[in-house]
Amino acid sequence: MEDITYNLCQYISSVSFEDINPNAIAVAKKSTLDTLGAMLAGSNAAGVNTVVDLAKQWRGTEEAHVIGWGDKLPAPLAALCNGTMARAMEIDDCLDFLPVHPSASIVPALLALAEMKGDMSGRDFLTSLAIGQDVIVRMGMTLRQNFLQSGHNNMFDIFGPTAALTTAMKFDPQEVQNALGISFSFAIGDGQSILDGALTVRLQQGLVAQGALLSVLLTSRGFTGAKDFLFGKHGYLVAFEPEPRINHLIKDLGKTFYGEMISYKPFSSCRGTHGAIELALRFRNEIPIDPKSIQRITVWVSPEIDKLLGTPREMKIKPETASVAQFSIQFTVAAALIRGDFFLKELEQESIQKNEILDLAQRIYIEPDPSMRTDFAVGKTMMQIEFEGSPTIKHEIDLPLGSPSRPMRYETCVEKFLKCAPYSIRPLENNRIKELAEMVSRLEDVPNVSTLISYLY
């Protein structure tokens, strides 16, 4: 087991930009732009001002910027704020086969470190991001059950951004191992916040980004962490995830980069709602639909998706906050059918309280069906709409748009980025935002990645 840990740390410390295949680099670019957009949109989200105001109150050495706001704070505080923003509007990248959000903590942590260092190149940034994405996916694949099945939320998230930061710092294997050991002390996982519609869903990615950065900074000053953080008597994979599938952690290290399996979200809601939203929009585009003529909409999903996004029914059909609405199949489907989209505008208070949407949501029923389970956590989705005096229509979908099998092109990610930017806490010039998107597309040629930050406040 010590060899496995060392091999992982050796890999993290030794991979270069040239070692990473072009598709993984292309994904890292899309994730960079996508996460920047998520942070801009999230800068004005509920609860974010509380986190930022606290951080500004504490102040300290000016090292890194808070995206959108423009304040310069100690790097760990900037990482906390920016990571919270990245997850706030539920539009950051994800995986379809695991309930994992790879980049929402990695990108904010790397940006904070980049401003601290002042000399991180675009190549180093992309290399670090690709490795962090690979590590976080490998950790998720190692588990026997994902958190939708077990209820254990993703404590392993901390290892992804920490791995990315150690790569950026050019740590040797022993330093990598020490930083990962320290980061184990920052491992968190609160799935109950999702079920309760709590704002801590947003905060957790900020805490992970901050914890990863602190782990690396402490390592650089000689502080020590658990050496056997994975397989020791009280290590993560022993104490919290027994019988791990260790092969997934080490197979083809340096050859296969699992960041290539990342999905991107066209809609501002939990990925498990996307199949139903896409079906609703397909119906809307195929035939004229008068919401008042709909008698019943039935959506079949896996039992795990129903538990997360379909129940408790009363909470889902009449969400009181945007955070609850994002995790409701009933509300997202109703809003998509009536508004023709489900993005940031559909999460404004006017939409959440709109009687037409709430009335339709009451006629939407979620049916848990084991046959909807697949090898992907999101599973299949099937929808049936029954009308007064018209034939019933029914469709199903295997995987929603944005998955590697149905990818969003970089140009589509740019369009999404442009939809996010107007929601920033401070207005941004449209031409500057377009310049930033173009710069990210050639990030490997950018000598100092901190240049990106000046476009974002």
pLDDT tens-digit readout, 166-194: 999 999 999 999 999 999 999 988 888 88
170: exposed, middle or buried (Cβ count in 10 Å: 0-12, 13-18, 19+): exposed
pLDDT the model gives residue 5: 96
- Give yes or no: residues 139 and 199 share one domain: yes
Residue type, 408: M
3-state secondary structure of 383: strand
Domain stop point among 354, 378, 397: 397
- Give yes or no: residues 66 and 201 share one domain: yes
List beta partners, residue 387: 294, 390
Mean pLDDT on 242-267: 95
Q: By the 8 A CB rule, do 333 and 277 touch?
A: yes
Domain stop point among 365, 397, 429: 397
pLDDT digits (tens, 9 = 90+) for 8-56: 999 999 999 999 999 999 999 999 999 999 999 999 999 999 999 999 9
The average confidence (pLDDT) of the chain is 96
- Give yes or no: residues 316 and 205 share one domain: no
Residue type, 92: D
**CATH number for the domain harbouring residue 362:** 3.30.1330.120
- Give yes or no: residues 261 and 275 share one domain: no
pLDDT the model gives residue 288: 86
Residue 456: band (very low, low, confident or very high) from pLDDT cuts 50, 70, 90? very high
pLDDT the model gives residue 173: 98
3-state secondary structure of 80: helix
d(CA 121, CA 141): 30
Q: Count the Cβ atoms, other than its own, within 10 Å of residue 151.
A: 12
d(CA 10, CA 8): 5
Structural domain boundaries enclosing 199: 2-266+406-455
Residue 335: band (very low, low, confident or very high) from pLDDT cuts 50, 70, 90? very high
The residue among 261, 250, 260 whose CA lies nearest residue 12 is 250
Enter the tokens of residue 101: 């959000």
pLDDT the model gives residue 357: 98
Question: Which residues fall within 8 angstroms of residue 437, CB to CB, at 6 or more apart?
Answer: 33, 414, 417, 418
- Give yes or no: residues 346 and 369 share one domain: yes
Residue type, 6: Y
d(CA 143, CA 403): 22
- Give yes or no: residues 335 and 433 share one domain: no
pLDDT > 90 fraction of the chain, expressed in percent and rounded:
91
pLDDT the model gives residue 399: 95
- Give yes or no: residues 220 and 354 share one domain: no
Asked whether the bond before 391 is cis by omega within 30 degrees of 0, the reply is: no
- Give yes or no: residues 259 and 135 share one domain: yes
Mean pLDDT on 119-132: 98
The residue among 308, 305, 311, 312 whose CA lies nearest residue 373 is 305
- Give yes or no: residues 193 and 307 share one domain: no
pLDDT the model gives residue 389: 82
d(CA 92, CA 442): 21
- Give yes or no: residues 199 and 97 share one domain: yes
Domain stop point among 360, 380, 397: 397
Mean pLDDT on 133-139: 97
Kind plus residue range of the DSSP H or E element containing 298? strand 294-301
d(CA 411, CA 434): 11
- Give yes or no: residues 115 and 201 share one domain: yes
- Count how many Cα atoms sit within 13 Å of the Cα of residue 310 in the half-sphere of its side chain: 20
pLDDT the model gives residue 355: 97
Residue 146: band (very low, low, confident or very high) from pLDDT cuts 50, 70, 90? confident
d(CA 345, CA 319): 15
d(CA 40, CA 315): 28
pLDDT the model gives residue 331: 98
Is the pLDDT assigned to residue 105 strictly greater than 80? yes
**CATH number for the domain harbouring residue 111:** 1.10.4100.10
- Give yes or no: residues 241 and 333 share one domain: no
Residues in the chain: 457
* pTM (2 d.p.): 0.95
Q: By the 8 A CB rule, do 297 and 384 touch?
A: yes
Is the pLDDT assigned to residue 1 strictly greater than 80? no
Is the pLDDT assigned to residue 388 strictly greater than 90? no
What's the domain count of the chain?
2
Mean pLDDT on 227-248: 94
Is the pLDDT assigned to residue 145 strictly greater than 90? no
Q: By the 8 A CB rule, do 32 and 416 touch?
A: no
Strands (E), 68-123: 72-73
Question: Which residues fall within 8 angstroms of residue 314, CB to CB, at 6 or more apart?
Answer: none
Q: Which residue carries 């930017």 as its tokens?
A: 421
How far is CA 386 from its chain centroid? 35
d(CA 418, CA 400): 22
